[in-house]
Amino acid sequence: MPPKQLRIGTRASQLALWQANWVKSELEKQYPGMEVTLTKIKTIGDKILDVPLAQVGGKGLFVKEIEEAMLRGEIDIAVHSMKDVPTEFPEGLGLYCITEREDPRDAVISRNVKFSELPQGARIGTSALRRQAQLLKVRPDLQMVIIRGNVETRIRKLEDEKLDAVILAAAGLKRLGFTEKVAEYLDTDLSIPAIGQGALGIECRLADPVITETIAFFNHADTSHAVRAERALLKRCEGGCQVPIAAHGTVSGGELRLVGFIAAVDGSRSVHGEISGPVTECEQLGIRLADQLLAEGGKAILEEVYQREIASPSHP
């Protein structure tokens, strides 16, 4: 029997609230009469907006405080953007469902100019080292400008900071109704998405069968297999938000294809690879591709990135 009441923990950004409200609405459709409430929680990633994420340091910048509320029994489930979810969880908590993926691509917001048409030395706003590395690999002339804040704030920075383009995840733009602002969607061959990009994850106390049974219908098998492979690769590489690691899995007819990428922040050195196999081996495929990338030069690139991290201390 599902509970009469269910409490969802979420960040308070416009996109996070859209995602949590979507989960709320689906629960109410599935279980008429259930009372679903949202609890807004501010995370460290929301509080520190004047520093690039790569310098804040640590993992789970957008989930830690939400997990702490769950451990205190203040919420029953948490809704996360999968790309924000660390590969390790506090004891007793875990990811129970991964929802069907929205568009996983990156999108260009500009003054109607496509990426290939951007002028020499164009100023590009992004918060992700992964995007910087991949775009600089193709266009080393570009100037990367770190931008933080919610989706609307980042779009506004196109004008406020005199940028030529801003790169954002297509999924968030589609969910918030900003697709008319998109000049171009970047092919995943040009800009491999972040791990889990476009999918939502629902976290809960794993030892609570009432909750796990209640939310089980959210899980989308193909997306879950793809994202688990991507996350296995990330975990094997011991990557956090400071490292330009990208991976994208696609499933067709029980077969999983996984593409992965590790790069220096300036795009000057990179390794790229892919692997295919049955979805039942999704996590092993992620580990195998990670090992391949690390052996082909990824390990040396990551060691250099981590050395630079030690040399420039994190935000207190």
189 is catalytic: no
Cβ-contact 236, 286 below 8 angstroms: yes
Residue 16's contacts (CB-CB under 8 Å, 6 or more residues apart) are 10, 79, 81
- Which residue in the list 84, 103, 106, 164 is annotated as catalytic? 84
Phi, psi of 176 (to 5 degrees): -95, 0
- C-alpha dihedral sign at 239, 188, 61, 241: positive
Is 127 in a helix, a strand, or coil?
Answer: coil
DSSP tag of 280: G
Position 122, amino acid: A
Structure tokens at 94: 């875990």
Task: Map tokens 């260009």 to a residue.
Answer: 108
Is 24 in a helix, a strand, or coil?
Answer: helix
Gap between the Cα atoms of 172 and 102, Å rounded: 9
Gap between the Cα atoms of 231 and 194, Å rounded: 10
Cβ-contact 262, 292 below 8 angstroms: no
Gap between the Cα atoms of 253 and 73, Å rounded: 41
Is 255 in a helix, a strand, or coil?
Answer: strand
Task: Map tokens 């297509």 to a residue.
Answer: 170
Provide the annotated active-site residues.
84
